[in-house]
Every structure is written in structure tokens, then in C-alpha cells.
Amino acid sequence: MKKIVVTLAVIFGLSITQSNAQSISGGIKADANLSNFLLSDMNNVESNMKFGASLGGFMKIDFSETFALQPELLFHYKSSEMKLGGGATDYEYWSAEIPIYAMGQFTAGNGRFYVGIGPYVGLGFSAKYKTGDIDLYEKNDNDESAMNRWDFGGGAIVGYEFGGGIQINASYKIGFLDMMDAGRDNASMNTNTISLGIGYRF
């Protein structure tokens, strides 16, 4: 995981220092999200989407009229419902995330349409089941927790920026790392998030 973080940090640093960048700007954004987990080999277990929210900022590095890089720093609150047999409990998750999008952009009307794809890395601060207030990051005697703090995956974003800098966007992210730590056997659990948001570029 350290290699993932270092790699993304290097990409971020290189993108900023590229001498052929035409312009660099920044902005803020806020999203409403729906999230759950994609489960594998977990019989009689369901993960249903619930609402959450995100807040953060971004840097836009334009290399041409049609191509840009956009690193972001986002803070998330996510929730989902976990059903096991006849019971259910809500899962709550607080995290920080750094996605880096390679974006194509095209003039449309008085603004610009954009679409991008790229990797992200995330770090969880808190993960709990509300029933029983169970801390999923707490270590057991084998130095294992129920869930991993780190997440790594890929995402896509599509949006439109109006002439004054106001943006609307939609994004999708899927985790590539198994979030289960202890008691995993052959089971796996990957993050899955859909977001709708607004932003403003200065």
C-alpha cells in the first residue's frame, strides 16, 4: 500500500511541475453519494446502498484546450445497510480520498463538457456497525481488524462547467482492494460508490 501512495504522490507532483501546462486552477466541490459493498462468497449477506456526503477541493491542470489532469482531495461520509439472515444493521464510514483524473474536455455552449478516468487511494478514519457500536478497525489478538483502512481503485467522472465556473458532475468509483481483513477465508468485499455533485472553479 505504501507503494501505491508513493506512486500517486509522484504522479501528483509531476503533474504540477510540468512546464508545458497552460494553466493551473483550483476549486471546491460537494457531493451526495450512494454507496455499498460488492460481496463475493458471502452467503445470505446483502449490502444495500444508503446516502452519504462528500466535501473537498480539486486542482485542475490544463495542458491544452482538450486535455487536463485533475487531482482531488475529498472527505467522505458513507453509509450502507448490511443484511445477514433475518437481521440488518447500518454501516458508517468516514474517510479521505485522493483521486487523479485524466480528463478530456470540449467546448459546449457557454461552458465546457468534461469526462475523465483515473485511480484513487483512500484512507479510512472510522468504520462502525451502528448496532452494538462495533469498531471495525479495532485489532484482535492476531493484530487483525475486521476491515482494512486502505482502499485503492478506479473511478470515472463526467460533468459540465458553466461559463462562471460553476460545475455539475456525476462520478463512479469501484475499489480494487478487498476491504476484509480478519476472518475472510475466500470471501471478499469491495467498495462501490455513485456520486452526484456541484463545484466551483476559481
What confidence score (pLDDT) does residue 185 get?
A: 67
CATH assignment at residue 156: 2.40.160.20
Q: What's the number of CA atoms in the CB half-sphere (13 Å) around residue 176? A: 10
What confidence score (pLDDT) does residue 11 get?
A: 58
CA 95 – CA 74 distance, rounded (Å):
8
What confidence score (pLDDT) does residue 3 get?
A: 53
Which residue's entry shows cell 455552449? 109
What confidence score (pLDDT) does residue 14 get?
A: 54
CA 182 – CA 127 distance, rounded (Å):
15
What confidence score (pLDDT) does residue 22 get?
A: 81
Could you tell me the residue range of the domain that residue 83 belongs to?
A: 2-201
User: What residue ranges of the chain have pLDDT lower than 70?
Assistant: 1-21, 132, 182-185
What confidence score (pLDDT) does residue 155 get?
A: 98
What confidence score (pLDDT) does residue 48 get?
A: 93
State the total domains in the chain: 1
What confidence score (pLDDT) does residue 108 get?
A: 92
What are the cell numbers at 72? 482531488
What confidence score (pLDDT) does residue 12 get?
A: 57
